[in-house]
Structure 1
Amino acid sequence: MSSFTDKIKAAVSGDVKEGAKIHTGIKLKENNPENADVSLDGLSGKAIIVGVPGAFTPPCSSQVPGYIQHADEFKSKGVSDIYIVAVNDQFTVKAWKEKLGGDKASNVHFLADDTGAFTKAVGQDFDASGLLGNHRSKRYAFVVEDGVVKKAYVEDEAPSVTVTAAENVLKNL
């Protein structure tokens, strides 16, 4: 596993720059596996976009519940919505949301980036074919205000959940 971790560590060196505008032209799937209907381009107000390598993986399944549990605290700090983006099909993402109790927080959205196009467009993809079978997302959290990345948290290693933990992002808002 250490050689795979080394590959991941080498692959996560590029970060989205703070101050960048999110404009990909790509829509993601939230409720319908045949219709991508959610755009993260030009979000108004304050939102958080959380990218994860894969639904149901142990690190992702330990990270995302923090965003659900602290949804009201995020809201009290001006965050209107939290978007969890996984490079998985919509069926998998929906099942993962149900398993994690994601419907307890109406402002937490689980989005399928089934082709990885959004992840690639924001510069957060890496080759995870050794473990997860294809290109996946680096673990990141973007604080976005009016479509502009104000703060970008990106893990040095995809299995790590430190800077992108909900508690860390929340205390830095």
Structure 2
Amino acid sequence: MTSLVNKISGAVSPLKVGATVDTGLKLKEDDPHEGTVSLDKVPGKIIIVGVPGAFTPPCSSHVPGYVQNEDKFLAKGIKEIYVVAVNDAFCTKAWKKELGAEGSKVHFLADDTGAFTTKVGMLFDASGLLGNHRAQRYVAVVEDGKVTHFEVEDEAPTVEKTKADNILAQL
């Protein structure tokens, strides 16, 4: 009954170890008009990297570690890596190109309304610097829809717990 009430009310189901990614939402990757990628219950082992904003200095130093270490992640059984930013699809596509990630297994997804980020309990008010609500910096290792490892930074500009090298060491 609780899960039905949560679905009806749109209640937040925070990411944490043991949680299921079940938002009912699709994020935008290539089509800026329509979401085409659902992270709900993706088969296999994936990584979701939540970042506050494309092109920001901390995020632009954080994400390249995942791109550069793609082969190491694949060798550890990771099927895909999804970078989720509360930005529009034009911005995330341009950022992917800027970071040299085209053709990789690292997908850049636009959560342009923040709906996904809200549903997984990772939204915070960044209006003082970034103009609106954004994602906290987090990494979730998800296997068959269930979170098996989760890290979130204490402050959005910090990139320590969620660095690619640290996540690789924990796989």
If the length of structure 2 is used for normalisation, what is the TM-score?
0.91
1:171 counterpart residue number: 169
Q: 1:79: how far off?
A: 0.1
Aligned-residue RMSD, C-alpha: 1.1
Secondary structure of the equivalent of 2:129?
coil
1:16 counterpart residue number: 15
Number of residue pairs matched by the alignment:
159
Secondary structure of the equivalent of 1:17?
coil
Secondary structure of the equivalent of 2:150?
strand
Separation (CA, whole Å) in 1 of partners of 2:74 and 2:60: 22
Question: Is 1:44 paired with 2:56?
Answer: no
Structure 1 runs of 4+ aligned residues shifted over 2 Å read none
If the length of structure 1 is used for normalisation, what is the TM-score?
0.90
8 Å CA contact 2:15, 2:21 repeated in 1: no
Separation (CA, whole Å) in 2 of partners of 1:150 and 1:111: 21
Secondary structure of the equivalent of 1:130?
helix
The residue type paired with residue 98 of structure 2 is K
2:131 counterpart residue number: 133
1:35 counterpart residue number: 34
The residue type paired with residue 36 of structure 2 is D
List gaps (5 residues or longer) in structure 1: 1-14
1:59 counterpart residue number: 58
2:86 counterpart residue number: 87
8 Å CA contact 1:141, 1:154 repeated in 2: yes
Separation (CA, whole Å) in 1 of partners of 2:93 and 2:84: 12
Q: 1:16: how far off?
A: 2.4
List gaps (5 residues or longer) in structure 2: 1-13
1:151 counterpart residue number: 149
1:77 counterpart residue number: 76
Fraction of identical pairs, as percent:
63
Separation (CA, whole Å) in 2 of partners of 1:35 and 1:117: 14
Separation (CA, whole Å) in 1 of partners of 2:15 and 2:103: 30
Separation (CA, whole Å) in 2 of partners of 1:71 and 1:171: 14
Separation (CA, whole Å) in 1 of partners of 2:155 and 2:169: 22
Separation (CA, whole Å) in 1 of partners of 2:36 and 2:16: 26
Secondary structure of the equivalent of 1:36?
coil
8 Å CA contact 1:31, 1:90 repeated in 2: yes
